[in-house]
C-alpha cells in the first residue's frame, strides 16, 4: 500500500501571502489530521477531518483552515502568512476510530 | 485534557548499550499511547502502540514499551542500541472520542560508536 503523500515538499512564501498544502491519505483511510512542527512549540494539532467533516480542531487562529474531499484527500490553507508560520506541516491518516495515525513526509513552509 | 512529558530532551548511549527513553502521560480517559520516531527531514514513523490488553508492547526495530497505569508511564526500551537508532523520538497520547494526538517535546537519541 502506498503511504501518505504530501505536496509540495518545500515551499517558500512571503508574509501576507496565502498557501495551500495537499495531503493524500493511505487508501481506505477516512480520517486525516494535520499537525504543525516547530523547534519552539514542538508538534501541535491543527485539525482532523473524517468523511469530509471537521471533527476536531486545535488552538490555532482562523487563518488556518482545511477541508476534506469525498476521496478523503485533504487540503489545508493558511491565509495572510506570518513569519511564525514557518514550520514543517505534517499530515497523518488513520482508519478513524482512535487507532494509529500514519504520517506523511511533511511540507516544509518557509515564510520570508 | 491530556499531556505528555518526556524526561530528557537529549539521551546519549554507546552502540550496544541499553536504550531507555522516558515518557509520562496524563489523561482523564483510558489512554491510547504511541511512540514515533523521526529521522532528519522526514515525517514520523510509528514504532509501537498501546491501546488495551497486554501492557508490554513490542514494536519495530527491536523496541518495546511497557504501560504502567499506576505510574502513568510508557517508557521505551531497546536492549542494544545500533547506530541507525539515532533519531528523535516522540511519545504521544490520545483517548476517548478525541482522536487527536498530543505529543511530548521529543527526545533526541545519539548513539556513539
Name which of A48, A100, A106 is nearest B100 (Cβ-Cβ). A48
**At residue B109, what are phi and psi to the nearest 5 degrees?**
-100, 125
Intra-chain end-to-end CA distance of chain A, in Å: 37
**Residue B18 — very low, low, confident or very high, per pLDDT cuts 50/70/90?**
very high
Which residues of chain B are within 8 Å of residue A106 when distances are taken between CB atoms?
A: 42-43
Q: Which residues contact A61 (CB under 8 A, 6 or more apart)?
A: none
Over 70: is that where the pLDDT of B40 sits?
A: yes
Residues B44-76 pLDDT 10s: 999 999 988 888 999 999 999 999 999 999 999
Cβ–Cβ gap B99/A55 under 8 Å: yes
Q: How many CA atoms lie within 13 A of A23 on its CB side?
A: 33
* Among A42, A55, A59, A96, the residue to mutate for chain B (most B Cβ within 10 A): A42
Over 70: is that where the pLDDT of B10 sits?
A: yes
Residues of chain A scoring pLDDT < 70: 98
Q: Please name the residues between 82 and 111 in chain B that touch chain A, using a CB distance below 8 Å.
A: 90, 94-95, 98-106
Cβ–Cβ gap B99/A105 under 8 Å: no
Q: Please name the residues between 28 and 67 in chain B that touch chain A, using a CB distance below 8 Å.
A: 32, 34, 36, 42-46, 49, 51
Amino acid at each position: 500500500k502506498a503511504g501518505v503523500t504530501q505536496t509540495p515538499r518545500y515551499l517558500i512564501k512571503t508574509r501576507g501571502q496565502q498557501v495551500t498544502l495537499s495531503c493524500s491519505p493511505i487508501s481506505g483511510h477516512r480520517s486525516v489530521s494535520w499537525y504543525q512542527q516547530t523547534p519552539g512549540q514542538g508538534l501541535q494539532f491543527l485539525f482532523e477531518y473524517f468523511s469530509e467533516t471537521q471533527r476536531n480542531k486545535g488552538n490555532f487562529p482562523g487563518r488556518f483552515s482545511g477541508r476534506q474531499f469525498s476521496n478523503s484527500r485533504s487540503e489545508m490553507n493558511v491565509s495572510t502568512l506570518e513569519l511564525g508560520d514557518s514550520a514543517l506541516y505534517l499530515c497523518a491518516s488513520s482508519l478513524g476510530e482512535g487507532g494509529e495515525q500514519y504520517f506523511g513526509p511533511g511540507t516544509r513552509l518557509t515564510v520570508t | 485534557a491530556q499531556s505528555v512529558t518526556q524526561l530528557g530532551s537529549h539521551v546519549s548511549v554507546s552502540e550496544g548499550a541499553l536504550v531507555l527513553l522516558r515518557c509520562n502521560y496524563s489523561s482523564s480517559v483510558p489512554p491510547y499511547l504511541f511512540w514515533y520516531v523521526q529521522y532528519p527531514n522526514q515525517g514520523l514513523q510509528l514504532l509501537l502502540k498501546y491501546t488495551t490488553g497486554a501492557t508490554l508492547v513490542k514494536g519495530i526495530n527491536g523496541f518495546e514499551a511497557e504501560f504502567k497505569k499506576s505510574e502513568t508511564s510508557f517508557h521505551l526500551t531497546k536492549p542494544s542500541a545500533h547506530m541507525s537508532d539515532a533519531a528523535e523520538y516522540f511519545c504521544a497520547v490520545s483517548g476517548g472520542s478525541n482522536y487527536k494526538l498530543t505529543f511530548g517535546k521529543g527526545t533526541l537519541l545519539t548513539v556513539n560508536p
